[in-house]
Amino acid sequence: MKRALVAMSGGVDSSVAAALMVESGYEVEGVTLRLWGGDSDSGCCSVSDVDDARRVAQQLGIVHHVFNYADSFDEVVVTPYVEAHGAGLTPNPCIECNRHIKFHRLVERSDLLGFDVLVTGHHVRKVDVAGRPRLARSVDDTKDQSYVLHMIDEEVLARCEFPLGDMTKADVRDRAAKLGLRTAHKPESQDVCFITSTEGRSRFLGERMVLHAGELVDIDGTVVGSTEAIELITIGQRRGLDLGGSTERRYALDVDLPSRRVVVGPAEQLETNAVRLADHRWVAEAVIGPVLAQVSAHGESHSATLDGSGQLFWDVPRRRVAPGQSVVFYRDEVVLGGAVAALGSCSVSEST
């Protein structure tokens, strides 16, 4: 009998994933990761989530483990998150958690323990392309999570299963309710598990780094406002900009940390033809030519072209991508890989 290790977060998706693997005839064991030792109200790192996962495992009659990766999580997710803000980047900690913890440390651990597959409750599909495993979008476009899993290469992908890829979220909740799982109606978790809704990003970062005040200037350098923490400003941001009472809609066009200045302007000045990229990660071979590119977890993908150096050129000008954010490449529904928007990729001089 094949053995499956199911990553159980304490939510409905991973609960149903575990149930489906049991129904498929696998010898199933569940594991919940302790990642964040601080305050959490996001629904993915709290003590109650570990308890929910344990109780679902009991309902399913499977063994449940808890692996403590808190030190690794702090090293490869939390610390880089803080450092990125200090460097003028807008990081995506969920992608780094998936990259370093769930699909590196946990895959290695599952191999050492003799499991045949690692299973998660992500809404993605594993498909066969010319005899090789590939990651593809979920059938539920509203819940698709391929963007945050784009870094999984084919070697790791071959050892993973995603049983929810052909189900909608409604299907998942319905299956959980029919099985009587305690997580059937549990709310979904938020994106960043280590930042509470009550204290927010500014409080979290302010306790771990020095935040600097800065000026907001228009395109010709005229000061039009101020910010108490320039490290918290993201390219494309509109809300939270103190423009001295002005009702004109202006967005952050560029963030210059050394000069403590944020250039602001109208939305049309955010548009650019290209994105300068770094840190490319491919599922298999590097890709040149036409792709579909997506710049946020729940955004739409748009036609673009990758050149020989891996830089991206939009078919139609698009809004700038904040440095530090991931750009993920697709061919139809299949993930090809991704990269990170580099510093300098959002300068005002590149606008169209």
Q: What is the CATH number of domain 211-265?
A: 2.30.30.280
Residue 277 pairs in a beta bridge with 341
pTM attached to this predicted model: 0.92
Question: What is the CB-side half-sphere exposure of residue 144 using CA atoms within 13 A?
Answer: 23
Q: Which residues make Cβ contacts (< 8 Å) with residue 135, sequence separation at least 6?
A: 124, 125, 126, 127, 146, 149, 150, 152, 157, 283, 334, 335
Catalytic positions, written as ranges: 97, 193
For residue 188, pLDDT beyond 90 = no
Residue 339 pairs in a beta bridge with 327
Q: Where in the chain is the domain with CATH 3.40.50.620?
A: 3-179
Between these two residues, 103 and 196, which has the higher pLDDT value? 103
For residue 351, pLDDT beyond 70 = no
List b or e across 173-187, with b for residues whose CB sees 16 or more CB atoms inside 10 angstroms: bebbeebebbbbebe
DSSP 159-203: TEE-TTTT--HHHHHHHHHHHT-TTTTPPPPPS-TTS-TTTHHHH
Between these two residues, 47 and 310, which has the higher pLDDT value? 310
Q: Where in the chain is the domain with CATH 2.30.30.280?
A: 211-265
Q: pLDDT category, 352, cuts 50, 70, 90?
A: very low
Q: What is the mean pLDDT of residues 5-33?
A: 97
Q: Which residue has 């409080």 as its token pair?
A: 203
Rounded to whole angstroms, the Cα distance separating 84 from 323 reads 10
For the chain, give the mean pLDDT: 92
Whose CA is closest to 343, among 84, 83, 96, 88? 88
Q: pLDDT category, 348, cuts 50, 70, 90?
A: very low
SS3 at position 105: helix
Q: Minimum mean pLDDT among 37-41, 322-326, 328-332, 343-347: which range? A: 343-347
Question: What is the reported pLDDT for 347?
Answer: 42
> pLDDT, tens digit, for every residue of 114-158?
999 999 999 999 999 999 999 999 999 999 999 999 999 999 999
Specify whether domain 3-179 bears CATH 3.40.50.620: yes
Rounded to whole angstroms, the Cα distance separating 324 from 262 reads 17
Q: Where in the chain is the domain with CATH 2.40.30.10?
A: 270-350
Question: What is the reported pLDDT for 320?
Answer: 94
> pLDDT, tens digit, for every residue of 223-282?
998 999 999 999 999 887 878 666 788 899 999 999 999 999 999 999 999 999 999 999
Residue 251 pairs in a beta bridge with 265
SS3 at position 27: strand
Q: What is the mean pLDDT of residues 47-53?
A: 88
Q: Assess contact for 307 and 75: CB atoms under 8 A.
A: no
Q: Which CATH superfamily is domain 270-350 in?
A: Translation factors (2.40.30.10)
